[in-house]
Structure 1
Amino acid sequence: MNSMKAQILTATLLTAFSGALSAADPQLLNLVMPDAKVLAGVNVEQAKGTQFGQYILNQIQTHDADMQKLATLTGFDPRRDVRELLVASDGTPGSKTGLAVARGNFDVAKITALGTLHGVVTELYNGVTILEDPKSQEHGIAFPDGSTVIAGDLASVKGAIDRLKTPQPLPAAVIVKLNQWSNSQDAWGVTTVPPSSLVPTPKAGGNPNPMQGAFQNVQQAAGGVKFGAQVVFSGEATCDTAQNASTLSDVIKLLINIAQMQTGTDPTAAALVKSVTVTASGNVVNATASLPEDVFQQMLQFGAKSQSPAVRHKR
């Protein structure tokens, strides 16, 4: 069960690294828990139309034997069948809860039959069948219809099923922020709470890091990536005061200068670092960076090679 869920979600995420996004699907947003603090979305619909999208799709086909097996057994292929993905969490540090919902084309009967064949537990909840992990029954996947999939911890999945009939919309300000980023980016993420609150509190003791302190003042953050002839990365951090935003901007610029000195003879890394621009306006800090699409693809290829078992063993 965990393997099936992981294959669906991982492939969807990888496939989505390209294409033109429209605003986040309202029907998917309606499935998200109303207290979600961290959300991310990707749209796969246009991935096949770009060089980089084709590259990612080919990587899935070439390297993911489990995904090929899933496609053969069920006819489900996220490279073809998934159109949009939205993930959400309440942002509790260390929490194992969360929700992923996707829009696409799913042969529910085949997928359910495959799960049953491999010992998956099924539960009928409010008219929707949930496929559950037979070992712990803590996580599940549900297909309310042939175009929607819901996955996550069992409580979150059941909550989303409840919202099919009784929507509990996100706050209006959050929806505005989501639409802002989903309209302009191919893949995006938003946190409506301080990023520092999303990680466990560090242990007491030790010398405080003044640079880290600048990031503690961030109250909200968002980021995204847009693919095309140029791969453009964008980020936004909202601080508690304009002064702290100015300080954060200065710290980021300092880190960029340090990075420039450490790029050495790597022209790609140097080009990426050199492209970064940082500005502060009021209490908001904006940053962008970009690389040509083919150069970014080469970067990923080099990274994949450096992480291969053979390369690691050689080192």
Structure 2
Amino acid sequence: MLRLRFVPLLLAAATLPAFASVDTALLALLPPGAKLVSGVDFERARSSQFGQFLTSKMNVNNQGLEQFVAQTGFDPRHDIQEIVFASSGPVEGASSSSRFAILARGTFDQDRLAATAKSKGLTAQPYRGVSLFIDKSKHDGPSAFAFLGDGVGVMGDLETVKQIVSNRQTPTVPDSALQAEINKVGTDNDAWFVSFLSGGFLANRLSAEVNGESSGGDNKGAMPQAQALQSVVQSSGGIQFGSTVRLSFDAITRSAQDATSLADVVRFFASMIQMSREKDPRAGIAASAFDAMNLSTDGDAMHLSLSLPEKSLEDLVNSAPAGASAHPHAQ
């Protein structure tokens, strides 16, 4: 029986604050070669009904978060304004490591954050006018964070952070096709992403989520339905928050036949969720969205849109198993 672990892949963004309209200043710091980009506007999210619901959830008996705030002076519920995430995808020849960066605009108590980082074993290293705080404990390579001035911070793998620091005086010009998609999807949605990552990466991630396996390696045990994602060459998605939450997903595939196959996979997953609605309350909530889904193909393109009452989204979060949501905490 297919487990419902893939449901968070479809609705994961709905359990996070809203991704924002495009922040051009942070986009100018993107590392060259980025193939996956998303943005987060926390100020906008905090004013939405769902954002207020999530904030209230974070405020209840969250001792780990309170300890983190006490140590660092940084409260993500209030101190983050904007975030941009970018990745170039998996590093060739590495089973799990990826090049990535998270750029954030906000209010940072740099001295307390630096002191906390050092107390946790991170090493401070001067680099081109800033201090890099390097964590070498990761099995997939060192990571780092740094403050770039003007309330902007960056964290990611060490090489990408160094690249951003080196290029910060020379704004990056993203790939024109990627920029066009960012402008289109980011403008119309409260939450969005654009990906030019290969379909093989998507297929491996979906199979890993469903089977509870690592997404690294050749994934020879990949579920057959996930293989339809191999044909995806470009994808994007968005969320519009309101009394009704609207989700959309668009994919460009290698051919019209591939687009049809991908739509068939969506129908398969929808049917599995609908069949499980009586056994799993979470599936019941998701099934109501798939009952009225809009799914279509046009040549090599596939479009999917879903809608869900905002209250149902709250119910989905409330029904998540204990410990499913991760919060920042001090070690």
For the criterion TM > 0.5, the same-fold answer is yes
Q: Residues of 1 paired with 2:39 and 2:26: CA distance?
A: 10
1:307–1:100 distance in 2 versus 1, CA, 3 Å? closer
Q: Summarize deviations over 1:63-93 as a string: whole Å, max 9, x none.
A: 5433212322333211111111111111126
Q: Residues of 1 paired with 2:24 and 2:43: CA distance?
A: 16
Aligned to 1:253: 267
After superposition, residues 218-257 of structure 1 pair within 5 angstroms as 218-257=232-271
Of 33, 56, 78, the residue aligned with 1:58 is 56
Q: Residues of 2 paired with 1:60 and 1:180: CA distance?
A: 32
Q: Residues of 1 paired with 2:150 and 2:73: CA distance?
A: 13
After superposition, residues 146-165 of structure 1 pair within 5 angstroms as 146-165=150-169
Q: Residues of 2 paired with 1:128 and 1:223: CA distance?
A: 35
Deviation at 1:60, TM superposition (A): 2.3
Of 254, 278, 283, the residue aligned with 1:264 is 278
Aligned to 2:218: 202
Q: Which moved more, 1:115-124 or 1:295-304?
A: 115-124
TM-score (norm 2): 0.78
* 2:32 partner amino acid: P
Of 187, 194, 210, the residue aligned with 1:190 is 194
1:119–1:277 distance in 2 versus 1, CA, 3 Å? same
* 2:87 partner amino acid: S
Deviation at 1:34, TM superposition (A): 1.1
Of 294, 297, 304, the residue aligned with 2:314 is 297
Deviation at 1:203, TM superposition (A): 5.7
1:297–1:250 distance in 2 versus 1, CA, 3 Å? same
Q: Summarize deviations over 1:142-180 as a string: whole Å, max 9, x none.
A: 011151010011111111111211233211111111122
Deviation at 1:96, TM superposition (A): 3.9
8 Å CA contact retained: 2:245, 2:309: yes
- Ranges in structure 2 where 5+ consecutive residues have no aligned partner: 1-12, 205-215, 326-331
* 1:273 partner amino acid: F
1:133–1:230 distance in 2 versus 1, CA, 3 Å? same
Q: Which moved more, 1:95-104 or 1:251-260?
A: 251-260
Q: Summarize deviations over 1:14-50 as a string: whole Å, max 9, x none.
A: 995237x322x12211222111112222211122222
After superposition, residues 1-315 of structure 1 pair within 5 angstroms as 16-18=16-18, 21-23=20-22, 25-92=23-90, 94-133=96-135, 135=137, 138-197=142-201, 199=204, 200=216, 202=218, 209=224, 211-264=225-278, 266=281, 267-305=284-322
1:80–1:271 distance in 2 versus 1, CA, 3 Å? same
1:259–1:27 distance in 2 versus 1, CA, 3 Å? same
8 Å CA contact retained: 1:30, 1:163: no
Greater C-alpha radius of gyration: 1
Secondary structure, counterpart of 1:79 in structure 2: coil
Q: Which moved more, 1:113-122 or 1:85-94?
A: 113-122
Secondary structure, counterpart of 1:183 in structure 2: helix
Aligned-pair Cα RMSD in Å: 2.8
Q: Residues of 1 paired with 2:70 and 2:150: CA distance?
A: 18
- Ranges in structure 1 where 5+ consecutive residues have no aligned partner: 1-12, 309-315
TM-score (norm 1): 0.82
Q: Summarize deviations over 1:207-257 as a string: whole Å, max 9, x none.
A: 983x34432221111122222111211101101112321232233224323
Q: Summarize deviations over 1:256-289 as a string: whole Å, max 9, x none.
A: 2343233226542331221322111221101011
Identity of aligned residues (%): 29
1:115–1:242 distance in 2 versus 1, CA, 3 Å? same
* 1:196 partner amino acid: G
Deviation at 1:117, TM superposition (A): 4.5
Report how many residues are paired.
Answer: 292
